[in-house]
Amino acid sequence: MSDKIRVTKNFTETPPPTGEVRNIAEWEPAEGVLITYKNGFGIPYEAIAEMSQNCIITTIVSGLSQENTVQTLFINNEVNIANCNFIYTPVDSWWARDYSPWYIAVDNSELAIVDFPYNRDRPNDDEIPNKMATFLGETRYGMDVVQTGGNYMCDGYGVAAQTDLVLDENLAGLDCFQDIPITAEEVNQRTHDYLGISNYFIRPDPLGDYIKHIDCWGKFIAVDKVVVTQVPVSDIRYDAYEAAAAFFSETNCSYGYPYHVFRVQAADQDEYQENPYSNSLILNNKVFVPQTGSAFDNEAIAVYQQAMPGYEIIGSYSSDLWMNTDAFHCRTYGIPDREMLFIKHYPLFGTVNSDNGYSLSTEIYSYAENEIDGNYPKLFYCINGGSLYEDIVMTGSITKSGIYSATIPEQTEGTEIKYYIQALDSEGKSAFHPFIGQADAHIFTAGSNSSSSVSEEKIKVDYFNIYPNPCEGKFFVWVDIEKETTSKLDIYAINGTCVHSENIHLNNGDNLKKIEVGNLKPGIYSIKIQSDKSTLIKKLIVK
C-alpha cells in the first residue's frame, strides 16, 4: 500500500438517505464477493474456487480480453465458472476492501450504496463504488468523509469502529486529505446520517504509525464478538494491544452486555510484522483464515472454531501472497443478498426473572418484499444443554415485515435456556438469529418467579401490563396493586440509556395510566416502575 498523498478527489456529494438507515454487517447473508484482477488476484485460486461453490464471484477486469484470460485461469483452477460475472473497468490495485462501497438498507427494504472519497491517489479504484452502483442497479449516496474500507467495521445494529485515521484525514492538519477540512462533530454526524451509525468507536491504533487500518489487528465477527490480535509481552506494542482488547471487553455491544473478545496470536518478529489472522473473511457460513506456515496457524484456526461455532473455518495457505497484516479481508468485499430476510432481535441474557414465562420479540423484514411463511417465524428453545429443541410459532400481524413475539414457558430457577429464531419467506428463503442459528444459540438463566418471590415488605402486584404494545409512543400502563404508592416510571433504551422518566401515583386496586413519549425512535425498550418496596419491569416495543 502506497504512502499517503494529498489529492483532490473527483467526488460527488449527495444528500443522505431519508428514512431509517442500517449499515449491513460482514456476516449477514451475501449473494457474492467482489475481487479484482490486477497482475493477479491477491488471494489463492483454491480460496476463489471454494467461494464460488455457493456465491457469485464478481471480478473487476479491464475488458473482454482480460475476462477471457481470467476465465481460463478460473477453469484451470476449478472455479465454478457458472457462478462468475465481470465488471469492465480499469483498477489501480487489488485492495477491494479499501475502495469498495459500503452497503446500507433504507427503511429495511431498499439496498443502496454509500460512496466516499478514497484516501489513496488511485483514481480508478476511487471510481469502483460508482461502477458497483450501476452494475447492481442500486442508488448511490455520496458521503463526503475521506475513508478507507480497511479502517471500518460495523455490526448491523448501528455500531461502527475505526482507528483515529478517520480524524487525521478529515480534520485540519498535515495528514488531512479534505480540501475543506471538517470537524469531528461533522464526521460523526455524516456517519450517522449516511450509515445509520449511532454508537461510533474511534480508537487509537495499537500498531502505531502504520497504515492505521483497524482490520490489520481486529474485526467484529458477530454483533457481540470481536477478534483482536495478541502480541508477546516482549513486543513494544504489547500494552497498546492489551488496551485495545480491554476496551471491547469493558464496552457493551448492541445487545447490552460486554463484547466477547477472542485473541489470535501474532509472531514475535520485526516491528509491524504480524501473522495476519485477524484479516479474515466471513462469507455466509464460511470463514476464510489466512495461513502462513507459522507455528501459530493451527492455534488461529482453533480460536475461530471456538469463537464461531457452526461456521466452516477454512485455512488458506500462501507463502508469497499474504503480507504481514494484509490478506483476505483487505482483498475482498462481500456483496449483500439484496433479497435477504433480516431478523432484528435483542436477545435475553444473564439471569431473567419470570413473569409467567420469558417474553421476547423480534422484527422480521423481507428485502425482497415476500410474505413470511404462515408457520414462521419460529422460536426454538432447549433447557440445560439438552439436544431436543421445542418450537413455538411466533405471533404477529404483518406478513412482509413486522414485529413478532413469543413466550418461553417458565422454568425452575437456575435453569439454563438456549434459544434461536428462524424466519422463512414464501419463496423458501430462510434466516436465523443468531446468524448461524442453533450452533451458537442465545443463552440465559431462569431467575426467580416474580409472583412467588414477593416478600411481606413488598407491595403485592396482582397485574401489570402495557397496552398497546407495540405502540407509537403513546400507551397505557395497567397496574393492579394492593397498596397505594408513588412510583417512578423510567423507560430505558436497549443500550441502558434512560430516555424518559416521570413519577406516577398508584392507588390501591386497578390503575390505568396514560403515558405519552413523542420522541422515541422505533425499537425495543424496557419500562421500569419502581417504588421503595416494589420493582416492575416490562418490555415496550415502539414501531
The CATH 2.60.40.650 domain(s) of the chain lie at 341-449
Q: Which CATH class is domain 461-542?
A: mainly beta
The CATH 2.60.40.3080 domain(s) of the chain lie at 461-542
pLDDT value at position 477? 85
**CB contact at 8 A, 191 and 160:** yes
Beta strand pairing call for 523-530 and 535-542: antiparallel
Q: What is the DSSP letter of 140?
A: E
**CA distances for 179 relative to 2, 10, 176, 194, angstroms:** 20, 12, 8, 20
Q: Which CATH class is domain 21-221+321-336?
A: alpha beta
User: Residue 489's closest CA among 534, 448, 451, 459?
Assistant: 534
The CATH 3.75.10.10 domain(s) of the chain lie at 21-221+321-336
Spatial distance between the Cα atoms of 101 and 130, rounded to a whole number of angstroms: 8
Spatial distance between the Cα atoms of 123 and 118, rounded to a whole number of angstroms: 9
pTM of the model: 0.82
pLDDT averaged per 10 residues in sequence order, the chain, 543 residues: 47 91 96 94 95 96 96 97 96 94 92 93 92 95 93 94 92 70 89 92 89 93 96 90 95 90 79 76 96 91 97 92 88 96 92 84 91 93 92 79 87 94 94 96 86 47 74 81 83 79 83 82 82 74 79
Region of 409 on the Ramachandran plot (φ > 0 left; ψ -120 to 50 alpha; else beta): beta
- Which residues are catalytic, by number? 330
CATH number of 341-449: 2.60.40.650
